[in-house]
Structure 1
């Protein structure tokens, strides 16, 4: 099959941003850029930002799950490679950019060495205002759930650590705690831990208000039942910021 016979899935990106299933969509990678870790180094925690095209729309607010880094390292996935989407998520960023990020979790390589398919392709960056009811959709991966309204302060990392004995590490304490899903979290839960994937991480910020000053960052955490935002303050920022990575 030559490149002229490969048909991109026109309008697939628009449908994906509208929350519709777009697995099996045939797309082309038109640009690929390495995003280094928080220290500015390239390592296993680094991820790739890509621009994708469906022949009608090109979209640059898109990242690859770090599990796909090996495809880039091997040379299978590169600029102009044609892919088939197997698993993808959309994430609405609640920040000044109002961007919607696409997170590609799994793909099949349709054509590694391909020429750019010149359709009538227009750059399109979605605005959160048109999707203000959504915070995170997972397409054909997790069951549809309603995101819980959970006070962020109640489940900040500092709150979680209060249940850990001072002379124990967090890792050691997990052995005596119960694994629960995000949807099961409530104010009466104690001695628990959750497992999932980080879908977004903010930069570390300095604050100064009536209560004092310090540093803060947050990250969004997803499992197969729901998603939650974890807020980290002060000393815990330095402890955990470099260990938390989007896509892991």
Structure 2
């Protein structure tokens, strides 16, 4: 054999086939094997790679975890590759026991098939092990020392797994919830576990709640065993795993002080100004500074239960702000004593209330002042300059919110009306136009002065009553809600805008405009006329609207920007240079 080709670990297929579980020595070694076949298959809507691995004597069927897909998709590994199997598990798929490859190191990309190996299936029960032969191998032998307690990776769990123990971090724990149906009443809670291979949701009922709820704390690592593995009920479970755990009264939970090989919580942060481009009802991770904390309130649910709520105003370095709602115990226990903390939120839901809003859900998690680089950068920015910045809030149908005006993709009104494809969800576009006419009948509405509310208030004669806050105010705070005809050289369209749009168009507060409207009709008409014939850049969204069984497209303004002629000229200059560089 070529001196540069590592020698295969002879006999390891037999060792794996007869293994009785993670306590066997073979589970803590990194045998060197050859991939003799590799092909992609679709399973449950995911691409998985099925491979056949050889030790030169036997071959075994194996599946590769999705985290390793890129090795095969990018051509780094494939048929003929020599690999070091870093970690593996044994699972049952479609009635057959199969090896699940959890970690691989590529030693040689491709060589001719070594030996003449024969198929070996996994035994249903363990047998006497043969010693491993690795003499002459130049590859690695052991990726990890033998763990102090044998564990199975979460990726390896299935309903056919027996006598397993997982070592995982708790990333989320819900409140205890009560339920009632025809079969009786009870209580439950859910918890999300994560290790380096996957996440899985666990749910405990009744006695399991009493025995386990107080033992499990977010952020800590535990050994978990003697739970039942079931198929995941996707209606109640949004964790990316086909299985879930049923925590029972005999389920064992033991805190683990050795937190090696268990990853920290992973985030995929979205900047606040990019939320307008994310689908409604989707979930995302955000990190931001809390600039304001609202008072605690309560609402009645559809089941006539009352739950607490509290709104936080979040800001980040994009100079955008957004409201996030806490519910239940989190709303009640959140205390405004952190002095504008940085909070990392995982899995919060994106809503469309007044443009964009965020909300904690049962699977969401928040970490106050996390020790991660993104948090340290935000802390430094806010303490140095952020605290004095003016932030653009998501309001109305996104007016003035985080949508981006793209000068390079400006479309004409004629093109928008003729060619814009309107899906069920809003379609975003950028345009430039001149205001020709503003409807002056009702340019603003009386709003609740509570900064976290803004709902319309009712004149009762004794004051202005807010049904949401259940308060009566001496006077309202007016907020813009305007409709205006905007034109370019190709056509005209009616655009709707909210408070920030009105501020940009009229250059005065809605309170001042309404006072003029109510007391000086001539001056009000002059203001409407003066505010027309100004040109703006718009970031808009088009959405189908149905009224009295008639469907039409409505155009809402997400952001309005007065023309900056220096920027416009520089953009035109760059276009000229691009086409005529000399």
Partner SS state of residue 86, structure 1:
strand
How far residue 96 of structure 1 moved from its aligned partner, in angstroms, is 7.7
* TM-score, normalised relative to structure 2: 0.26
* Structure 2: stretches of 5+ with no match in the other structure: 128-144, 152-161, 166-172, 180-188, 244-582
How far residue 87 of structure 1 moved from its aligned partner, in angstroms, is 1.4
**Counterparts of residues 1-248 of structure 1 (less than 5 Å):** 2=2, 5-17=5-17, 18=19, 19-21=24-26, 23-39=29-45, 45-60=46-61, 62-91=62-91, 93=92, 97=95, 99-117=96-114, 119-128=115-124, 130-131=125-126, 140=146, 143-144=149-150, 147=163, 163-164=176-177, 187=208, 188-190=211-213, 225-226=224-225, 228-232=227-231, 236-237=233-234, 240=237, 243-245=240-242
How far residue 73 of structure 1 moved from its aligned partner, in angstroms, is 1.8
What is the CA–CA distance in structure 1 between the aligned matches of 2:87 and 2:107, rounded to whole Å?
Answer: 15
* TM-score, normalised relative to structure 1: 0.56
Partner SS state of residue 59, structure 1:
strand
Show CA shifts across 1:73-116 (max 9, x none).
2211111111012112223x3x883x332111112111112221
Contact persistence 1:65–1:103 (CA under 8 A) = yes
Distance 1:64 1:193, change over 3 A: farther
User: Quick check: which has more Rg, 1 or 2?
Assistant: 2
Q: What root-mean-square deviation, in Å, do the aligned CA atoms of Structure 1 and Structure 2 show? A: 4.4
How far residue 10 of structure 1 moved from its aligned partner, in angstroms, is 0.9
Show CA shifts across 1:161-182 (max 9, x none).
994478xxxxxx97xx797999
What is the CA–CA distance in structure 2 between the aligned matches of 1:38 and 1:5, rounded to whole Å?
Answer: 37
Structure 1 residue runs of 4 or more that deviate by more than 4 Å after TM superposition:
139-142, 177-182, 191-195, 237-242
Distance 1:29 1:229, change over 3 A: farther
Distance 1:101 1:111, change over 3 A: same
Q: Whose RCO is larger (CA < 8 A, sep 6+)?
A: 1
* Structure 1: stretches of 5+ with no match in the other structure: 40-44, 133-138, 150-159, 167-172, 196-222
What is the CA–CA distance in structure 2 between the aligned matches of 1:48 and 1:194, rounded to whole Å?
Answer: 33
Contact persistence 2:16–2:122 (CA under 8 A) = no
